[in-house]
Amino acid sequence: MADARSSNGKSILVIGGGVAGLTTAIEAAEAGCQVILVEKSPFLGGRAVSFSLYFPKLCPPTCGFEINFRRIKNNPRITVLTQAELTSLTGAAGDYEATVKVAPRFVSEACTLCGDCAKACPVERPDDFNFGESKTKAAYLPHNMTYPAAYVIDRSVCPAGCKACVEACPYGAIDLNQGAQQKTFHVAAVVVATGWAPYDASKISNLGFGRFPNVVTNVMLERMAAVNGPTGGKILRPSDGKEPASIAFVQCAGSRDENHLPYCSSVCCSASLKHSTYIRSLYPDAQVTIFYIDVRTPGLLEDFRAKVATNGHLKLVKGKVGKIGEDPQTHDLWVTVEDVLAGRKTTQRFSLVVLATGMVPQTEGLPQGLPRDEFGFVTDGAPGFIGAGCVKRPEDVASSVRDATGAALKALQSAVRSAHHG
Ligand SMILES: Cc1cc2nc3c(=O)[nH]c(=O)nc-3n(C[C@H](O)[C@H](O)[C@H](O)COP(=O)(O)OP(=O)(O)OC[C@H]3O[C@@H](n4cnc5c(N)ncnc54)[C@H](O)[C@@H]3O)c2cc1C
């Protein structure tokens, strides 16, 4: 059983390795605390590593993440467990026993990212990082910024008896017999930083997602715009692979709606404004229309809105979209909206529609009894549990980082307190 004590107290457990969990882990470890960082996917970074660029600076995610990955790599106080999930938590604040199940990666640290395993691999699987819009081999690198930097084998799709990747690997880094591991830790506090998932757009039946190929979501658009994405950085119509001439963004798709998500996800307006800059740089003459209820760009993001809105090809129309239909011949979309300022209902034709769907807290697999608000977001209040980032409320990266830094301080206090008490 691991019980690595810090110089100033017990360890802390951080669940979720997105920008919030990474921040808490790094800040707490750099202050002298032992940290166990548990991430369920094969890589750290969470949703933000999948973005093409970040608002408001419009820089690529490599900017911040490279530095953070280096800080983690150089800090012996952080134990990183990927493909890992908490399976049980017993005890009380200051003295928890946490059991974590770590699924096998089948590839060791000897991996040099040469890619020979993927070249030799005979089978493909849908690439969940690209929302199934492309495929990877069963031996795959989730994305080009993957940390820990090693390939992964998806054994669920491997043909029986196949050893092609093992034979192709020049470094002996692949062991297909690896099994799952169970690890137990004593920790003083648990930081929950499990983030968000996009709202399921197929539930918004009037907006046509899943029925009309050229209706996509904001997170899918992020992947299209990314150079390492399914279309190599080009925003293309899924129906025919053509460049779109006119694009509509539907704000609050399912948000601020009692039938779906009653709350505002706070970042979707800034995200769509950012997306309009992607389109502008790819296709300077394309017409972009953002249909909104209110443009919510709080604080410093007002400057970002003002800067982006100067683009002559961008139209902002106040009105909630009621319906999307499709021309079955061309797969163009008909968008019907009540134009509030013009005082009339209009139906306009677009070649691509992007639904700005909101954020849903990810709380699956978390300990029972964790306090939540009426929408499922984790709230503070249970001793020994500290929330950080978007699992607490929808917010941007800068706010998640600030929140997670505060969470690190609270976790450190628990660790120090527990050391004084035993
Ligand atoms: C379309 C869109 C575009 C955006 N663009 C921007 C932008 O340009 N700039 C900006 O500042 N913000 C942007 N945001 C907001 C940004 O995505 C969030 O601020 C950020 O992802 C919050 O990080 P997080 O760590 O809280 O959550 P996440 O990024 O969701 O990370 C959570 C991590 O926890 C892991 N996890 C989940 N459950 C478990 C579990 N049970 N056990 C272990 N691990 C688990 C997940 O795999 C994930 O790695 C955008 C949001 C949207 C919707």
Q: If you count them, how many residues does the chain have? A: 422
**Ligand 1 pocket, mutate which of 267, 277, 355 (most atoms under 8 A from CB):** 267
Question: What CA–CA distance (Å, rounded) separates 192 from 392?
Answer: 9
For 11-102+180-195+362-420, give the CATH class. alpha beta
pLDDT at position 9 is 56
Residue 4 confidence class, pLDDT cut points 50, 70, 90: very low
Distance 48 CA to ligand 1 centre (A): 6
Distance 18 CA to ligand 1 centre (A): 6
Q: What is the mean pLDDT of residues 179-205?
A: 97
Distance 47 CA to ligand 1 centre (A): 4
Residue 419 confidence class, pLDDT cut points 50, 70, 90: confident
pLDDT at position 63 is 85
Residue 152 one-letter amino acid: V
Residue 413 one-letter amino acid: Q
User: Rounded to the nearest 10 degrees, what angle do helices 218-225 and 268-282 cross at?
Assistant: 40
Residue nearest to atom 30 of ligand 1 (CA): 195
In the predicted model, is pLDDT for residue 1 greater than 50? no
Question: What CA–CA distance (Å, rounded) separates 132 from 216?
Answer: 13
- From the CA of 366, give the closest atom in ligand 1: 41
Residues 315-337 have pLDDT tens digits of 999 999 999 999 999 999 999 99
Longest dimension (CA), the chain: 73
Distance 20 CA to ligand 1 centre (A): 8
Tokens of 29: 């470890």
Q: Pick the range with the lowest mean pLDDT from 17-26, 203-212, 337-346.
A: 337-346
pTM score = 0.95
Distance 23 CA to ligand 1 centre (A): 12
In the predicted model, is pLDDT for residue 385 greater than 60? yes
Tokens of 209: 């997602």
Average pLDDT, the chain: 94
Question: What CA–CA distance (Å, rounded) separates 6 from 34?
Answer: 5
Distance 258 CA to ligand 1 centre (A): 24
Q: What is the mean pLDDT of residues 29-53?
A: 97
CA distances from 285 to 232, 273, 304, 311 (A): 21, 16, 21, 11
Q: What residue ranges do the domains of the chain occupy?
A: 11-102+180-195+362-420, 116-168, 200-358
Comparison of pLDDT for 342 and 355, the residue scoring more: 355
The 3-state secondary structure of 180-221, one letter per residue: CEEEEEEEEEEEECCCEEECCHHHCHHHCCCCCCCEEEHHHH
Q: How many helices (H) and strands (E) does the chain have?
A: 8, 21
**Pocket lining for ligand 1, CB < 6 angstroms:** 15-21, 38-41, 46-48, 51, 54-55, 85, 193-196, 218-219, 222, 267, 271, 274, 359, 362, 364-366, 389-390, 395-398, 400
Contact 282, 224 (CB under 8 A): no
Residues 74-91 have pLDDT tens digits of 999 999 999 999 999 999
Q: What is the mean pLDDT of residues 265-276?
A: 96
Q: Indicate if 200-358 has the same CATH topology as 11-102+180-195+362-420.
A: yes
CA distances from 56 to 233, 312, 388 (A): 20, 20, 21
DSSP state of 388: -
Q: Percent of the chain, pLDDT > 90? A: 87
Residue nearest to atom 12 of ligand 1 (CA): 396
Of the candidates 126, 108, 104, the one whose C-alpha atom is nearest the C-alpha of residue 117 is 108
Distance 360 CA to ligand 1 centre (A): 10
If DSSP codes are grouped into helix, strand and coil, which group holds residue 22? helix
In the predicted model, is pLDDT for residue 312 greater than 80? no
- From the CA of 19, give the closest atom in ligand 1: 25
Q: Which fold has domain 200-358?
A: FAD/NAD(P)-binding domain (3.50.50)
Which residue is listed with tokens 């492309």? 134
Q: Is the dihedral of CA 121, 125, 129, 132 positive or negative?
A: positive
- From the CA of 85, give the closest atom in ligand 1: 42
- From the CA of 357, give the closest atom in ligand 1: 53
Give how far the C-alpha of residue 260 lies from the chain's centroid of Cα atoms, to the nearest Å. Answer: 20
In the predicted model, is pLDDT for residue 149 greater than 60? yes
Distance 46 CA to ligand 1 centre (A): 5
Distance 153 CA to ligand 1 centre (A): 24
List 316's β-bridge partners, or say none.
290
Tokens of 264: 């505002």
What are the φ/ψ torsions at residue 325 (nearest 5 degrees)? -120, 170
52 burial type by CB count under 10 A (0-12 exposed, 13-18 middle, 19+ buried): buried
Tokens of 212: 């009309």
Residue nearest to atom 7 of ligand 1 (CA): 54
Q: Percent of the chain, pLDDT > 70? A: 97
pLDDT at position 309 is 85
pLDDT at position 10 is 81
Residues 102-125 have pLDDT tens digits of 999 999 999 999 999 999 999 999
Tokens of 166: 């093992």
